């Protein structure tokens, strides 16, 4: 990923968490609030358009698509870039579903730095969508993401709450980041 001075000043905020925990909603709301762009989840768009079970190669394609979407959005971002998902999520997905991870993925995870990860807690009601698979495993995935973030020493905070409270909690964390009052 090439960066210039303008994209270096953009704070990159990644959302990670189990399915149906409000990541997309928060990304959309925060991008609107901060008058910037957000990166949708490529896999969600892709999976809605296939009729059969997905394959390992489909997920590789989605991970590559996610990187391209993010790179394009970074060029248009103002102050912040909100990413509905990122490659650590794909790492967990590959391991859980296929028990193998593409060789290039770890290098990309290390290379693509985020100023803040917002880990969404599974404290919202499950909303069933065709592309979602794990209603009974949300706490399991939350714990797995938490463990990965801690192990890698990535800067993160957990987002709790419902509705406006969840949004306000996210805004408060981002404002702390902007004021340099955020410590990992």
Sheet holding 80-83, edge to edge: 37-39, 80-83, 11-16, 116-120, 156-159
Using an 8 Å Cβ cutoff, are 37 and 81 in contact?
Answer: yes
Domain ranges of the chain: 5-178
pLDDT at position 15, please? 96
- What pLDDT is attached to residue 4? 45
**What CA–CA distance (Å, rounded) separates 116 from 108?**
17
Judged against a pLDDT cut of 60, whether residue 5 lies above it is answered with no
Contact 13, 182 (CB under 8 A): no
Q: How confident is the model at residue 163 (pLDDT cuts 50, 70, 90)?
A: confident
| Residue 177: per-residue pLDDT | 81
Question: Which residues sit opposite 119 in a β-bridge?
Answer: 16, 158
- Give residue 43's pLDDT: 87
- Above 70 in pLDDT, residue 3? no
pLDDT tens digits, 115-143: 999 999 998 665 566 555 666 788 999 99
Q: Considering the chain, what is the average pLDDT of its residues?
A: 88
Q: What is the pTM of this model?
A: 0.88
How does DSSP classify residue 19?
T
Q: What is the pLDDT of residues 64-119, one digit of tens each?
A: 999 999 999 999 999 999 999 999 999 999 999 999 999 999 999 999 999 999 99
- In this structure, whether the domain defined by 5-178 belongs to CATH 3.40.50.150 is answered with no
């Amino acid at each position: 990923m090439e960066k210039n001075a303008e994209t270096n000043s953009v704070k990159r905020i990644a959302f990670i968490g189990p399915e149906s925990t409000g990541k997309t909603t928060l990304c959309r709301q925060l991008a609107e609030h901060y008058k910037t762009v957000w990166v949708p989840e490529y896999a969600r768009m892709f999976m809605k358009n296939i009729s059969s079970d997905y394959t390992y190669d489909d997920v590789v394609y989605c991970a590559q698509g996610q990187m391209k979407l993010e790179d394009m959005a970074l060029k248009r971002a103002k102050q912040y870039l909100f990413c509905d998902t990122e490659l650590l999520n794909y790492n967990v997905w590959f391991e859980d579903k296929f028990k193998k991870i593409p060789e290039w993925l770890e290098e990309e995870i290390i290379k693509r730095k985020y100023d803040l990860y917002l880990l969404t807690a599974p404290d919202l009601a499950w909303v069933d969508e065709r592309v979602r698979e794990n209603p009974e495993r949300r706490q399991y995935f939350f714990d797995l993401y938490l463990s990965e973030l801690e192990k890698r020493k990535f800067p993160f905070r957990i987002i709790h709450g419902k509705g406006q409270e969840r949004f306000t909690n996210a805004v408060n964390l981002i404002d702390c980041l902007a004021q340099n009052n955020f410590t990992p």
